[in-house]
C-alpha cells in the first residue's frame, strides 16, 4: 500500500517543447497580415461608403440626375399693364424660338442645307450655326424671339428640308414672348421697361417684378450614355404660369394731354433740364398722370436722342462708354420721384395754411413790404423791388410777396414750422409705389438760422420731391388729409381674379377742414384776379400758386440768365369742390423768361382746359367768358356750295369758298374743331385750291381778344382762346409761330394773360 502511494506521488516528467519550423512561422505571420489587411481594407471601404452615403449622398444624387437629365426653361408670359380704363400700356406679344435636333441629321449635306437656310433667315453667322448642327442632341436653341415673318420662313425651310433632303424632323418652333409697348414713349417714366431676359429694369416693370414675371415652365429630357438627348417620349413638360396683370391709376388720355403740352413747353421755353408734370386725384392720392419730359421709347430704351449721341461720339473713345451710361441713366430717371428741387412760392400755400391753422392770421391781418428785408448782412428781396406797401393776408398771397411771408413764417415760429413741414409729409418719403424715390433736404433740428427760416417761409433753400409737393397740395385742397400717393390701383391674375386692390390710405390730417376751405377760397381768388399768370381757366374755378425758385448749391447750366431757375405752377380745380391737383415745373428755362407765371402757368392752363372737360367737371361761365366761348365747327362736306354757306351762317360762322366745283369736298377747320363764334369756315370745292391755298400766321402777342379776332380774320385764320380773356388780358402765347405757312381757316390757339401793374406774382 505504501509502495503504491509512493508510486502515485512520483512527479510526472515535463513534456519536451518542440521548436516551430520556418514554414509554420511564415504561415502564422501571413495569416496575421491578411487579417490586418482585411480589417484595414474593409474598414476604409466601410468608412468611405458611410461618408458617400451619409455625408456626400445628396450631392452625388444631384450629379447623377444632372448626368441623366437635361432641364430646359420655358419662358412664362409676363403680365399685362393697363391704364385705369383698361387700355393696354405694356404687353408680352407672342414670338418664337428656333430649336434644332441635330442628332437626327444623317449626313453633311443635310447639316449644310439646314445651317445655310437658318443663317440666312435669322441673320446669323453660318459657321456658328453649322457647328450647332454637329452636336449630338435632340435640343439645341438656335435663336430666341423671332417675329412672324421669320417664323413663316422657318416653316418653309422645314418643308424644303423634308422634301429635298429627307430631314424634316430637325427644326422645331417653341412659343416665346417679347415685351411690347403699344404707345412707345407714353408714361415711360412710370411704366419702365424690361431687359433681354424679360426682367423689369425700371418703373412699374421693376417695382412689381414679382407680380408680373410669372413662373417659368420646364422641359426635362433624359440623356443617354453618349450625352445626347433621348427621344421625345422620354421628355416631361412642366407648363409655365402667366404673370399677373396690373392696372395703373394713370389715365392714358390725361397722360397724353400732359405729355403733349409739356413737350410744347420744353420747346417754347428752351428748357435745358427737362420738366415734370403730375396730376393727382386730391381725394384718393391716385396719380392720374406723371410726366418727365421728354420721355424715351420703351420699345428702344437704349437709344439716346440724336443730339445727345452726337455729343458722345465726339468725345475721346475712352470716355464714351461712361458718358453713354450716364446719359442713359439720366434719360430713364423719373424726375417726379427721383429728383429734388426747391419749390419756391408754390410752398406758400403750405406756409399760409400753417398760419391759419395756428390762428396767427385773421382777415384783418396786414403786412408791409418795402421791397426787401434785411438780416444783418443778408438782404432778401421781393420780386417787386419797389415794394407792395401795406397789404392784407389775401393780397400777400395774390402778390406772392416774400417779405410778407417772412413775417407770416415768424408768426408761426420755427418749431411749429418744422412740425407742419413734417406733417405735410416733406420730412419723409411719400412711399409712392415707384422705385428710386429721393429724400428731402432740410435743416437738422437746431441748425436753421434766422435767415434760413426766413427763406424757408417762401420755399427756398430746402429741397423736396415733386411728388411730395403735389401730395401736400392735395392735402391743402381736400380738407387737410395727407394721402399715400400711388400708381397701381389693382392686380389681377391671368384669369381676371383680383388678387390685390389698392385703396386710399390717409396718413394724417395736417390742417382742419375750415383751414382747407379758407385756402381754397383764397387760392381760387388768386387765380381769378391774377388771370393767366395764376392758372386761370375759363369756365372753371381754379385754385393755385406760381413759383420761381433759384437753384442754389448746384452747378449752373449754360443758360443766358445770371442764375438757374425752376419755373412752376401748382394748383387744383374746382376750387369749391377740389377733384384734381396738378404740378407743372420746368428745370432751367432759357427761352427769354423764367417766371412760373410766364413759363409754367400757360402750360397748366392748356392741360386743365382739356383735362377738366374730359373729367366732365361742370363748367360755370360768367357773362364775359360766354362772349368769348369757343364753338365747334359742323360738317359741311358733301353739301352744295349754296347749302353749305347757309349751314355755316346758321352755325354762327362766315363761309369762304375756294374752287370752282359745285360741292364741298373739304373744309378747314375740320368737324368739331373749336373756334371763336363768328370765325370763318373755309370750304374747298376742288383739289387744286385745297392743296395750294396757304396763308402766313401773324404775331398775335399783345393783342386783346377782340383785336386778335380781327387780325385773324384779316389773314383768313381762326382763333381759339385760353386764359384770362374776360379780364382785360392780352395774348401772351400762340400755338403756331409767327411766319408759319398754314392752310386758310386754320385755328390758332391763343393764351391770354391778365394785365397786372405789379409784375409777375411769383
The per-residue pLDDT for range 658-681, each reduced to its tens digit, is: 988 999 999 998 888 888 877 889
41 and 160 together in one domain: no
The per-residue pLDDT for 10 is 55
Residue 736 lies in a domain: yes
The string of pLDDT tens digits covering residues 701-723 is 888 888 888 898 888 888 888 77
Q: Which residue range forms the structural domain that includes residue 543?
A: 338-619
Residue 185 lies in a domain: yes
| 740: CATH | 3.30.10.20
Residue 295 lies in a domain: no
- Residue (of 195, 91, 196) closest to 143 by Cα position: 196
Q: Give yes or no for a contact between 420 and 566, defined as CB atoms under 8 angstroms apart.
A: no
| 523: CATH | 3.40.710.10
Please check the confidence at residue 556 and state whether its pLDDT lies above 60.
Answer: no
613 and 561 together in one domain: yes
Q: Of 566, 598, 619, which residue constitutes the final position of a domain? A: 619
Contacts of 466 (CB under 8 A, 6+ apart): 276, 278, 335, 336, 337, 339, 341, 583, 585
- Average pLDDT of the chain is 86
Residue 90 lies in a domain: yes
Who has greater pLDDT, 471 or 655? Answer: 471
Q: Of 202, 230, 247, which residue constitutes the final position of a domain? A: 247
Residue 261 lies in a domain: no
Between helices 348-357 and 466-477, what is the axis angle to 10°? 40
The string of pLDDT tens digits covering residues 105-153 is 889 899 999 999 999 999 999 999 999 999 888 788 899 889 899 999 9
Q: For 417-430, what is the mean pLDDT?
A: 96
Top mean-pLDDT range of 480-489, 546-555, 602-611: 480-489
506 and 644 together in one domain: no
542 and 684 together in one domain: no
The string of pLDDT tens digits covering residues 46-87 is 777 777 677 766 665 655 555 555 556 667 889 999 999 999
Q: Of 204, 221, 247, which residue constitutes the final position of a domain? A: 247
Q: How many domains does the chain have?
A: 4
Who has greater pLDDT, 685 or 73? Answer: 685
609 and 717 together in one domain: no
Q: For 186-208, what is the mean pLDDT?
A: 93
The pTM score is: 0.78
453 and 589 together in one domain: yes
455 and 509 together in one domain: yes
The per-residue pLDDT for 175 is 81
Residue 668 lies in a domain: yes
565 and 633 together in one domain: no
In order of 487, 494, 610, 701, 714, the CA distances from 707 in angstroms are 45, 59, 25, 10, 11
Contacts of 157 (CB under 8 A, 6+ apart): 114, 117, 118, 121, 171
The per-residue pLDDT for 757 is 38
Residue 320 lies in a domain: no
Q: Give yes or no for a contact between 723 and 532, defined as CB atoms under 8 angstroms apart.
A: yes
737 and 708 together in one domain: yes
How many helices (H) and strands (E) in the chain?
25, 31
Residue 104 lies in a domain: yes
The per-residue pLDDT for 241 is 86
392 and 507 together in one domain: yes
The per-residue pLDDT for 758 is 39
Who has greater pLDDT, 642 or 9? Answer: 642
Instruction: Spell out where 75-170 has E strands.
Output: 81-82, 88-100, 140-146
What is the CB neighbour count within 10 angstroms for residue 184? 12
529 and 486 together in one domain: yes
Amino acid at each position: 500500500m505504501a509502495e503504491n502511494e509512493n508510486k502515485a506521488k512520483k512527479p510526472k516528467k515535463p513534456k519536451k517543447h518542440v521548436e516551430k519550423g520556418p514554414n509554420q512561422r511564415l504561415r502564422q505571420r501571413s495569416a496575421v497580415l491578411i487579417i490586418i489587411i482585411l480589417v484595414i481594407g474593409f474598414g476604409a471601404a466601410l468608412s468611405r461608403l458611410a461618408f458617400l452615403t451619409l455625408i456626400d449622398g445628396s450631392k452625388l444624387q444631384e450629379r447623377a440626375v444632372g448626368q441623366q437629365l437635361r432641364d430646359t426653361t420655358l419662358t412664362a408670359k409676363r403680365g399685362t399693364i393697363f391704364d385705369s380704363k383698361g387700355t393696354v400700356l405694356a404687353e408680352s406679344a407672342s414670338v418664337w424660338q428656333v430649336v434644332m435636333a441635330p442628332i437626327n441629321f444623317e449626313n453633311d449635306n443635310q447639316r449644310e442645307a439646314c445651317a445655310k437656310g437658318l443663317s440666312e433667315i435669322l441673320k446669323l453667322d453660318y459657321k456658328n450655326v453649322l457647328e450647332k448642327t454637329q452636336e449630338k442632341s435632340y435640343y439645341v436653341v438656335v435663336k430666341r424671339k423671332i417675329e412672324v415673318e421669320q417664323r413663316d420662313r422657318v416653316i418653309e425651310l422645314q418643308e424644303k428640308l423634308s422634301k429635298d433632303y429627307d430631314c424634316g424632323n430637325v427644326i422645331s418652333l417653341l412659343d416665346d414672348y417679347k415685351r411690347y409697348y403699344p404707345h412707345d414713349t407714353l408714361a415711360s417714366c412710370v411704366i419702365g421697361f424690361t431687359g433681354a431676359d424679360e426682367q423689369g429694369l425700371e418703373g412699374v416693370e421693376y417695382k412689381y417684378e414679382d407680380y408680373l414675371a410669372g413662373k417659368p415652365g420646364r422641359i426635362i429630357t433624359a440623356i443617354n450614355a453618349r450625352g445626347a438627348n433621348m427621344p421625345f417620349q422620354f421628355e416631361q413638360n412642366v407648363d409655365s404660369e402667366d404673370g399677373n396683370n396690373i392696372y395703373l391709376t394713370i389715365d392714358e388720355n390725361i397722360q397724353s394731354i400732359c405729355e403733349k403740352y409739356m413737350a410744347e413747353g420744353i420747346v417754347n421755353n428752351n428748357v435745358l433740364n427737362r420738366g415734370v408734370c403730375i396730376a393727382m386725384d386730391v381725394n384718393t392720392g391716385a396719380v392720374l398722370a406723371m410726366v418727365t419730359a421728354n420721355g424715351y421709347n420703351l420699345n428702344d430704351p437704349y437709344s439716346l436722342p440724336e443730339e445727345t449721341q452726337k455729343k458722345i461720339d465726339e468725345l475721346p473713345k475712352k470716355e464714351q462708354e461712361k458718358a453713354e451710361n450716364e446719359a442713359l441713366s439720366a434719360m430713364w430717371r423719373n424726375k417726379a420721384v427721383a429728383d429734388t428741387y426747391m419749390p419756391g412760392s408754390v410752398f406758400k400755400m403750405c406756409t399760409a395754411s400753417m398760419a391759419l391753422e395756428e390762428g396767427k392770421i385773421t382777415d384783418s391781418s396786414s403786412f408791409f413790404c418795402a421791397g426787401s428785408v434785411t438780416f444783418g448782412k443778408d438782404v432778401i428781396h421781393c420780386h417787386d423791388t419797389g415794394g407792395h406797401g401795406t397789404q392784407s393776408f389775401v393780397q400777400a398771397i395774390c402778390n406772392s410777396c416774400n417779405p410778407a411771408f417772412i413775417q407770416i413764417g415768424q408768426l408761426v415760429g420755427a418749431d411749429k414750422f418744422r412740425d407742419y413741414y413734417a406733417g405735410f409729409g416733406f420730412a419723409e418719403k411719400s412711399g409712392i409705389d415707384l422705385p428710386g424715390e429721393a429724400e428731402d433736404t432740410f435743416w437738422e433740428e437746431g441748425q436753421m438760422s434766422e435767415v434760413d427760416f426766413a427763406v424757408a417761409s417762401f420755399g427756398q433753400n430746402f429741397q423736396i420731391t415733386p411728388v411730395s409737393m403735389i401730395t401736400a397740395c392735395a392735402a391743402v385742397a381736400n380738407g387737410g388729409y395727407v394721402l399715400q400717393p400711388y400708381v397701381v390701383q389693382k392686380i389681377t391674375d391671368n384669369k381676371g381674379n383680383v388678387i390685390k386692390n389698392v385703396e386710399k390710405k390717409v396718413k394724417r390730417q395736417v390742417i382742419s377742414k375750415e383751414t382747407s376751405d379758407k385756402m381754397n377760397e383764397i387760392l381760387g381768388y388768386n387765380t381769378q384776379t391774377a388771370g393767366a399768370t395764376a392758372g386761370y381757366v375759363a369756365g372753371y374755378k381754379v385754385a393755385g400758386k406760381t413759383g420761381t425758385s433759384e437753384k442754389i448749391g448746384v452747378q449752373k447750366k449754360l443758360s443766358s440768365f445770371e442764375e438757374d431757375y425752376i419755373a412752376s405752377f401748382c394748383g387744383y380745380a374746382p376750387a369749391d369742390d377740389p377733384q384734381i391737383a396738378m404740378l407743372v415745373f420746368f428745370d432751367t428755362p432759357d427761352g427769354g423768361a423764367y417766371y412760373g407765371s410766364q413759363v409754367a402757368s400757360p402750360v397748366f392752363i392748356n392741360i386743365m382746359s382739356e383735362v377738366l372737360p374730359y373729367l366732365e367737371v361742370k363748367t360755370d361761365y360768367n357773362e364775359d367768358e360766354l362772349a368769348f366761348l369757343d364753338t365747334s365747327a359742323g360738317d359741311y362736306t358733301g353739301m352744295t356750295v349754296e347749302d353749305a354757306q347757309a349751314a355755316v351762317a346758321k352755325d354762327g360762322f362766315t363761309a369762304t369758298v375756294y374752287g370752282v366745283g359745285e360741292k364741298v369736298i373739304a373744309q378747314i377747320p375740320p368737324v368739331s374743331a373749336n373756334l371763336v363764334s363768328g370765325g370763318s369756315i373755309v370750304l374747298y370745292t376742288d383739289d387744286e385750291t385745297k392743296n395750294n391755298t396757304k396763308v402766313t400766321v401773324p404775331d398775335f402777342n399783345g393783342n386783346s381778344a377782340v383785336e386778335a379776332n380781327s387780325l385773324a380774320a384779316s389773314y383768313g385764320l381762326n382763333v381759339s382762346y385760353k386764359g384770362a380773356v374776360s379780364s382785360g388780358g392780352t395774348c401772351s402765347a400762340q400755338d403756331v409761330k409767327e411766319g408759319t405757312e398754314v392752310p386758310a381757316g386754320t385755328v390758332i390757339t391763343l393764351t391770354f394773360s391778365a394785365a397786372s401793374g405789379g409784375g409777375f406774382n411769383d
